[in-house]
Amino acid sequence: MALIKCPGYPEDTLRSLAERLPCRETQLATLLALMGQPDQYSYPSVFIYGHRATGKSHVVLSIMKDLELPHASVDCVECVSSGLLFHQVLSAFFGLDAAALLPRCPSLSDFVRLYKQMSSNSPATQTRYIILDRAERMRDMDFSLLPALLRLQELVNDNVTVILLSEIVWEKFRPNTGCFEPLLFHFPDYSKAELVQILSWDHHPSYTPELYASYINILLGVFFSVCRDLRELRHLAVLNFSKFCEPLEKGEAKESDIHKLWKNIEPHLQRAMQTVYLREVSSVQWEQQQMDEKEATTLRVLSAHAHIELPYYSKFLLIAAYLASFNPARTDRRFFLKSHGKIRKTNFLKKHEKTSNHLLGPKPFPLDRLMAIFYSVVDSRVAPTASIFSQISSLVTLQLLSQVGHDDQLDSPKYKCSVSLDFILAISRTVGFDVVKYLYDFL
């Protein structure tokens, strides 16, 4: 590890900082070089971008905390109005009393005025840093806020640097009227080797580090192709480690029997990818299940709960809506009329109707067509009572149907069916209706 040197900061703090931030030495060195000595003016604004969990805010906040620099760390998601942002910045730099001087709905000029007033009382001896996490939210706030913060140093005439952290590239930030261009700084993704190094950091105290490292290697062998998110991987590593150690505890294997351990854990990890990783099973359930030694598939996963008990006619209404949404209107005669002539499938459909409707998604249909199909699929005579029509609107509120074009509520409304094929198959099975026979795509 190259020794990071930066005049003006205590050397042992820098060393411990570099040890605490593995695989981020170059970024750390660049940032420290940018910051310069504490009393020097730094660049007005720095834009740091990189994927999720690449240590952007961790590196920046660690530097701030360890070197004890004056800083205000603001998460832009929390700032529903710019006033909250101003409040946090002022209270971090000058104390709560200063922030209390802000008017109720502070504007940018209020903030700048108050900042200037406060900084003239207590001028900056060190560079002050404003760290804006998830800065992409700044674009949705007042349009002048981002350009103003980018040149805040100039506005308040104080040694202040704004650091923006985001997962989005700068090109999507730039306002149309132009602005002061910040310094762009990229945090690259961790490689596999780096992930192993970082994940092996927190090994279990009762086992050797080598065992944990081999566990991490196995884990990454399964998960690296789908997930490079450090936080997610760490979470999975913690969840499954007890299962990995099971043979050791039982005495069935020794620490050196890596192959045996791999054979034990590999199917378990594959199962975890389909359940815990997709949050079908919560981590608490997963741990519980490991303790009870139950088979993993016995648990009903979240997506299997997608079955709703519906009234009898609602089921038929939903089936009719599904048929109306996924069949071309021209084929209705053929499917739903009792005595239709012989019509061949080919050569009578338009070109766009030939492609699978299930790939294109549901199409809107008018209420009349829904009712026509409904009467044709229901065997008994059904009176068009208020309850039938209210069932349609309650299907809309349940979001099984969705209304298209909200201009006309009463006169010929249009709907779309928004349920999946699996769902409709399950519904039709309960009423003993074969949907597939009526679907043009499966003919």
Partner 1 sequence: MVKRCFNPDINSNNALIDPHRSMSISVEGKTEDATVSLGQYILIEGDDDDNPFVAQLRKLYTDGRNMPCFSKKTAVVQWFVRMCEVPQNKRKLLGRDPHPQEIFFYQDRSCDNEVDGETILGAVQTAPATPRTPRHATPSIPSRSAPARKPGNVLEEARARLHVSSVPESLPCREQEFQDIYNFVESKVIDGTGGCMYISGVPGTGKTATVHEVVRSLQQSAEQDEIPHFHFIEINGMKMTDPHQAYVQILQKLTNQKATPDHAAALLEKRFSAPAPKKETTVLLVDELDLLWTRKQNVMYNLFDWPTRRNARLVVLTIANTMDLPERIMINRVASRLGLTRMSFQPYTFKQLQQIITSRLNRVKAFEEDALQLVSRKVAALSGDARRCLDICRRATEICEHSGSQKNGSGLVGMSHVMEALDEMFSSSYIAAIRCASVQEQLFLRAVIAEFRRLGLEEATFQQVFVQHQALCRVEGLQPVSVSEGLAVCQRLGSCRLLLLEGSRLDLFLRIRLNVSQDDVLYALKAD
Q: Which of 428, 352, 369, 364 is nearest to 396 (CA)?
A: 364
x/- mask, partner 1, residues 359-398, rule CB under 8 A, reads ----------------------------------------
Is the CB of 174 or the CB of 429 nearer to partner 1?
Answer: 174
CB of 143 to partner 1, least distance (A): 10
CB of 17 to partner 1, least distance (A): 31
| Measured distance CA(374)–CA(318) in Å, rounded | 9
Please check whether residue 135 is in contact with residue 165, taking contact to mean a CB–CB distance below 8 angstroms.
yes
CB of 174 to partner 1, least distance (A): 5
CB of 179 to partner 1, least distance (A): 8
| Measured distance CA(442)–CA(356) in Å, rounded | 9
φ/ψ region of 178 (left if φ > 0, alpha if ψ in -120 to 50, else beta) reads: left
Is the CB of 19 or the CB of 171 nearer to partner 1?
Answer: 171
Q: How far is CA 308 from the centre of its chain?
A: 27
Is the CB of 174 or the CB of 279 nearer to partner 1?
Answer: 174
CB of 184 to partner 1, least distance (A): 9
CB of 132 to partner 1, least distance (A): 18
For the four alpha carbons of 195, 201, 205 and 210, in that order, the dihedral sign comes to positive
Is the CB of 8 or the CB of 175 nearer to partner 1?
Answer: 175
| Measured distance CA(367)–CA(371) in Å, rounded | 6
Is the CB of 181 or the CB of 434 nearer to partner 1?
Answer: 181
The β-bridge relationship of strands 183-187 and 160-166 is unpaired
Is the CB of 177 or the CB of 380 nearer to partner 1?
Answer: 177
CB of 35 to partner 1, least distance (A): 25
| Measured distance CA(138)–CA(85) in Å, rounded | 10
Q: Which of 201, 246, 194 is nearest to 220 (CA)?
A: 194
- Chain position carrying tokens 């800065």: 135
CB of 139 to partner 1, least distance (A): 7
| Measured distance CA(188)–CA(263) in Å, rounded | 34
Is the CB of 176 or the CB of 206 nearer to partner 1?
Answer: 176
- Chain position carrying tokens 């139950």: 294
Report 138-197 residues binding partner 1 (CB under 8 A): 139, 169-178
Is the CB of 169 or the CB of 278 nearer to partner 1?
Answer: 169
Q: Which of 69, 87, 85 is nearest to 77 (CA)?
A: 85
Please check whether residue 373 is in contact with residue 317, taking contact to mean a CB–CB distance below 8 angstroms.
no
* Residue 405, token pair as written in the block: 């074009």
Task: Please count the residues of this chain forming the interface with partner 1, following the rule CB under 8 A.
Answer: 11
CB of 48 to partner 1, least distance (A): 16
Is the CB of 66 or the CB of 136 nearer to partner 1?
Answer: 136
Contacts of 88 (CB under 8 A, 6+ apart): 72, 74, 79, 99
Footprint of partner 1 on this chain (CB under 8 A)? 139, 169-178
